[in-house]
Chains A and B, each alone.
Chain A
Amino acid sequence: MITSRFEELVTTTAFKKGIPNLRIVYTPHPITDRPAELCREYVAGNDPNTDKPMLEEIYSGLTRPVSAVDAKAGFLERDLRPRLFPPDTPENLMEFFHSRGYTDGNPIILPTEEKVREMLGATSHDPEEWVGQMRPSPPHEAWYYTVEMVAVNAVMAGAKPEYFPVILAIASKGVTSMFSSTSSFARMVVVNGPVVNEIGMNTGIGALGPVNRANSSIGRCWTLISRNLGGSGKPGETYLGSQGNQLNYNNICFPENEEGLPAGWEPLHVQKGFDKSESVVSIFSGWSMNDIAWYSPLPQHEVIRGWLEHFFSFGTTQATLILDPIVAADVASNGYATKTAFTKYLAKNTGTPGWLYWSEHRDNLKKAQEGVEPFAGWLERGEDTVVPESRYTGKRMGNSSLLATFGNNDESITAIHVVVTGGGTNTFWSGGDFGYVGSTSVDFWR
């Protein structure tokens, strides 16, 4: 059974799984957060897609004899995508690429054999070598791709050949930038190590903005790879984000400003076990970022602590902070000698807004109402009062457990990460619900 909105998704998924006539009964959409009385009406009523009584349809699906057509199962056969398309004018080819869904809706660089060959010259790896596999979400089929296929998309995104090892490293992680969830995920990629300066990535003013070709095109390429090599991006079938996410255009792609780190603060890739001399990409997953400067007598670490305590989005148990170097310097000067010291302080000293805590911990609410401490004492202060229990310790919280499925917390002491970038023109920092997924070497792909 599934809600009526997902008929296309469930029928195509059943087809891909080799059960083309899977018996499906639909409920009205949505059914989350619907009261029992309404659900009772739904169950007593008709399947909205077939207009037949729901219970009778269920019974029939379980008892109706399986016909020869129903029993038909097998493997999905796809038409091979040709390596070369026939020659045409640039305008016609551009329209062709748009019409086939190979773009992000913006113009691309046409991937001619010459341009792809030039891109391939930036890696020692064979064009036919497998780079990885990717799928729109775990239930979907996996797509496999070669170095040459990634090169085609690197050309399309407008990347220079010297960016190619970074792009291959991202592709090798097999993480789609357009995860197929109704919640419209976003991704982030942080680049560390010598490659940042070698290819001219921007770590300074506007590092997160559209002012640098490497930052922009590498991030954009990840989405083209996800669409064209990872099977993502078909609305209703392999992309379900209800509103979509504008961050998917280039996925918050930026380098850490390692020169801007306070003394004692390790670059992200060193935190993850790589040598400082290595070049590395690190991938994060989340939904949204806030961009903040708050002028007050409070030091930056206390402002950030206060924001983190009340921050709310779809992901409520993980956070990533992107600090401008002058914010990082301010935090360090207040006694936080390492990033970890700062994240530990935040995890230890942030509580959870009462409305959020009690709605996510129904068992504890019941205990509180029965007088069990410490819950009763917390509730006594008022349902909206901050509860002294952090959301960022890496433990799962309430029914948000599904969020942790998508990364984070496997190696962190806390569920908070800190990255430093920017040009020091203001005490700005960004914070959001991004969790760490993993890191991999760029040097391997040179």
Chain B
Amino acid sequence: MAPRPSTLDGKTVYIVDTKYPNTKPFVNELYAALKTEYPETTWVLKEKYGGYMDDDPKLWKEIKENAAGAIVLVGH
């Protein structure tokens, strides 16, 4: 696993929605709660390319370049 930062203050973290059908309400609520609870962190919500089984190397590259971490979610 990649080394962790000691704090997320001032950092960017991606929330990657794998688009499992009809889970958007949960993803949106998580995004809203993280923004409220940890306002010093920039939370970026992104939808992954394709279905939940498709790879998305472009997005993984973008996250490596721009972010300190990522949360990938969710099904069923």
Contacts and interface: CB of A to CB of B under 8 A. Distances in A.
A401 B26 CA distance: 20
Given A59-B8, A66-B1, A43 B53 contact: no
A81 interface: no
Contacts of A55: 33-34, 37
Interface residues of B, number: 35
B38 A66 contact: no
25 contacts: A1-B30, A1-B73, A2-B73, A2-B75, A6-B75, A19-B1, A31-B23, A32-B20, A32-B23, A32-B76, A34-B26, A40-B33, A42-B26, A43-B26, A43-B29, A43-B30, A58-B34, A62-B69, A63-B6, A65-B4, A70-B1, A399-B22, A402-B21, A405-B50, A405-B53
A10 B54 CA distance: 17
A27 B38 contact: no
Interface in A136-162: 137-139
Interface string A1-37: 1110110000000000001011101010111111110
Interface of A: 1-3, 5-6, 19, 21-23, 25, 27, 29-36, 39-40, 42-44, 55, 58-59, 62-66, 70-71, 73, 137-139, 182, 399, 401-402, 405
A72 to B, nearest CB: 9
Nearest to A242: B76
A405 B76 contact: no
A377 B4 CA distance: 56
B72 interface: yes
A63 B8 contact: yes
**3 residue pairs, one from A and one from B, having the closest CB atoms:** A1-B73, A402-B51, A39-B29
A182 B76 contact: yes
Nearest to A21: B1
Given A1-B74, A31-B23, A401 B4 contact: no
Interface string B44-71: 0000001111100000000000001101
B7 A63 contact: yes
A51 B76 CA distance: 20
Contacts of B68: 62
Nearest to B70: A62
A63 B73 contact: no
A66 B23 contact: no
Contacts of B34: 55, 58
Given A39-B25, A40-B33, A137 B72 contact: no
A389 B8 CA distance: 49
